[in-house]
């Protein structure tokens, strides 16, 4: 069973950058489709970015062009580089994994398809 641990959150000003990391143990992330989700207080958890086992990536419209995956060579740490951060990016960010090797565009950012979750890391962006 895979375990996920996130890190890298923090407080930044609008326009700043952060890199979130998801360390995978028990397996390598290349065996799973992976995603980052976020949840703001009082809001539903929403999908932000997805990568499948072929390397195909999908990003939510709200972060497209600002967020991107960074992969290590060992399949153990999957990072999310977040640039040009906005106050509306403030949320708890979660790393997630699923055994599905490929998901459709309608499934990739749907939390119901993911079974492994980390504990989350907080991102706060001030204006």
Would you state the pLDDT for residue 105?
95
Query: d(Cα 84, Cα 13) in Å, to the nearest integer?
Result: 10
Q: Smallest Cα–Cα separation from 49: which of 117, 96, 101?
A: 96
Count of residues in the chain:
127
CB atoms within 10 A of CB 125: 20
Q: What is the mean pLDDT of each run of 10 residues along the chain (127 residues)?
A: 96 98 95 97 97 96 98 93 98 97 95 98 98
Q: What are the tokens at 102? A: 């490929």
């Amino acid at each position: 069973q895979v375990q996920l641990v996130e890190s890298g959150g923090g407080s930044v000003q609008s326009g700043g950058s952060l890199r979130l990391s998801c360390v995978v143990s028990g397996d390598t992330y290349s065996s799973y489709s992976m995603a980052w989700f976020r949840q703001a207080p009082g809001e539903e958890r929403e999908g932000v970015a997805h990568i499948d086992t072929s390397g195909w990536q999908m990003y939510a419209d709200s972060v497209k062009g600002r967020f991107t995956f960074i992969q290590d060579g060992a399949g153990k740490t999957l990072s999310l580089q977040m640039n040009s951060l906005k106050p509306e990016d403030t949320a708890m960010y979660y790393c997630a994994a699923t055994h599905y090797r490929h998901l459709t565009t309608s499934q990739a950012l749907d939390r119901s398809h993911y079974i492994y979750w980390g504990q989350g890391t907080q991102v706060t962006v001030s204006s």
